[in-house]
Structure 1
């Protein structure tokens, strides 16, 4: 019996004789240096050209030069690339038309249209923007309606709103109250767009995680650490739900105006809510720009969404040419960006990168392809946008 005197008491945990002590050096690896390579052995389909011609509804080829917190106070524009630099990529990737959302206002808008739309007819279309820099003027509503008239006359195909409205534009200069999305002073602008059959492209709010604390529980922690100005957490900002509710109140007041809700309505994390918006407002559409990272990690829900709303979803990338595009790898205008989008829409590949970057820029996950039917693909790639903008099919 002496041989049993050193046995651990019944029920006591037993140490694994094969275990080793933790490697504390490896445990302290910075997250920014962690770049795992998947060990999955899966088909990888390269889709160099789309099955149908593409209208990219969401690009930024120009930007208003004098911008303060997203509020334009001038008409000069910066041009990120020339048609000669863009057309070779477009031709290689089957992109029929790029829609430049940030065409600016006044003389800047006229310059953007001349440099793109007139230089290569049919390949580029330009939208105008609100004159937020003049918002403090007492006759702003009338001035803005007249600006829409001017934009229509010079060839703008629609109106684009950045997230300025709801998150940056304030009463007075900088210190006043935030102006709400459903402020009645913009009603003449929405109605002017309806009168000219100019769709309104809305970027209201931002990803839901941007309104939460940028702490260890936030799945987009790294992205917010890289771009701290993208965080809207705190009492100085409204919440995501509050912004979207104000947007919906505004849409309800203007049933004659067509609203294209950018980035899957800025609620791609909650497709059931986007569906409710589309069901409630028949004058709305969405684009998929910069949100395949969200759509592709919920492929079954996304596929059902595409099936149901196939006539109201448009292709878009949020592409920005270099040099600015180098700062946002999920948006850099290049061959690889389009190939990723085509792979997501056309194949049933599993677990692949959603952006041309070493580290996933929005969150550390991968996506799955939807393998949409030809009928749906044709609508998403081209026909829905062509119908909205009056482009011949």
Structure 2
């Protein structure tokens, strides 16, 4: 019954760079492409999307295929990141191999490295133990990214609710009820705090490497925690992908966060084409309209995703009305700097 002002935004105010999309998926060196570049460009042009950064660009032959099909076919509209060879992590000499692969990936056209939450939660050693995020086998990889000026986008952990019991006290009970395999409660999974601490040790060990910690530092529910890490690690940045639902339910705190870290926050959505399991991330015009409404207006109590049911939790969000100076940085300026796109 609430009656409040509603701002209709057709597209974001400025041409944006979406630093966090998934327009290809790798199975070894084989790639899957859910949508053609032409299909994506049609939506991009209608949504004022200047560039999409495809984080899951694979490795080896798959990476080369992704770069050829997107980046080189449509210059300045797509950029592709590479991924580690998790399948080789237990082979002798992996540390040097993976470090060397970063240089090869850059030569093949990769602009950065993507770390999925597999590290710390699913990748296992030869004895069946989970490989830790700060395992020293990855140090040559992090160092190579720093030397080659390739930013690392890293997803560690998940919403805090995913580590809690799936019961009536869990604010994401419906989401986890639909996807019980997303829960990391029990078994031999580390805690949320253990994962974040391990990530922090990596960032501290490699000050020359730029880390874009995805999903608002993987702890959007606790911006004080994220702020403390940003203050401590000057080589840490964050994106807002798939977290406007979290940011928008704490609008005053979020507005202060954007003001203080306006040079360290990047626009991202975690968008994926035809993502039936991820309605809050489905690549469509409505998704970008919601992000723009959150960032550009002070509208109250609106849906945070273009989904028929609450995809994450039963709440609504509020806009934070950023000024033009900050909007330009978040929409494209900070990404330009980190990706080396400024002439």
Q: Structure 1-normalised TM-score?
A: 0.86
Post-superposition Cα deviations, 1:244-303, rounded to whole Å, max 9, x if no partner, equal 001101111111111000000110000000000000000010000000000000000000
User: How far is 1:326 from its partner?
Assistant: 2.2
Cα distance between partner residues in 1 of 2:34 and 2:235: 32
User: How far is 1:311 from its partner?
Assistant: 0.3
Which of these residues, 67, 86, 95, is aligned with residue 40 of structure 2? 86
Which residue of the partner structure matches residue 60 of structure 1? 22
Post-superposition Cα deviations, 1:7-55, rounded to whole Å, max 9, x if no partner, equal xxxxxxxxxxxxxxxxxxxxxxxxxxxxxxxx11111111112111100
Structure 1: gaps (5+ residues): 1-38, 66-73
User: How far is 1:76 from its partner?
Assistant: 0.5
User: How far is 1:312 from its partner?
Assistant: 0.2
Q: Does 1:230 align with 2:182?
A: yes
Post-superposition Cα deviations, 1:175-224, rounded to whole Å, max 9, x if no partner, equal 61111111001000000111100000000000011000011100000000
Structure 2: gaps (5+ residues): none
Q: Does 1:384 align with 2:338?
A: no
Cα distance between partner residues in 2 of 1:108 and 1:289: 25
Which residue of the partner structure matches residue 34 of structure 1? none
User: How far is 1:235 from its partner?
Assistant: 3.6
Which residue of the partner structure matches residue 105 of structure 1? 59
Cα distance between partner residues in 2 of 1:47 and 1:227: 32
Q: Does 1:367 align with 2:329?
A: no
Cα distance between partner residues in 1 of 2:101 and 2:178: 36
Which residue of the partner structure matches residue 124 of structure 1? 78
Aligned residue pair count: 343
Cα distance between partner residues in 1 of 2:11 and 2:33: 27
Cα distance between partner residues in 2 of 1:117 and 1:372: 31
Larger radius of gyration: 1
Cα distance between partner residues in 2 of 1:357 and 1:246: 34
Paired residue secondary structure (2:132): coil
Which residue of the partner structure matches residue 33 of structure 1? none
Cα distance between partner residues in 2 of 1:391 and 1:44: 36
Which residue of the partner structure matches residue 276 of structure 1? 228
Q: Does 1:142 align with 2:104?
A: no
What's the C-alpha RMSD, in Å, of the aligned pairs? 0.8
Matches within 5 A, 1:246-257: 246-257=198-209
Paired residue secondary structure (2:50): strand
User: How far is 1:327 from its partner?
Assistant: 2.0
Paired residue secondary structure (1:264): helix
Which residue of the partner structure matches residue 152 of structure 2? 200
Which residue of the partner structure matches residue 315 of structure 1? 267
Which of these residues, 284, 301, 305, is aligned with residue 334 of structure 1? 284
Which residue of the partner structure matches residue 10 of structure 2? 48
Q: Does 1:170 align with 2:120?
A: no
User: How far is 1:155 from its partner?
Assistant: 1.0
Which residue of the partner structure matches residue 218 of structure 1? 170
Post-superposition Cα deviations, 1:146-190, rounded to whole Å, max 9, x if no partner, equal 111110101100000000111011111xx6111111100100000
Cα distance between partner residues in 1 of 2:29 and 2:96: 19
Which residue of the partner structure matches residue 111 of structure 2? 157
Cα distance between partner residues in 1 of 2:7 and 2:341: 31
Cα distance between partner residues in 2 of 1:250 and 1:374: 34
Matches within 5 A, 1:173-192: 176-192=128-144
Cα distance between partner residues in 1 of 2:331 and 2:181: 33
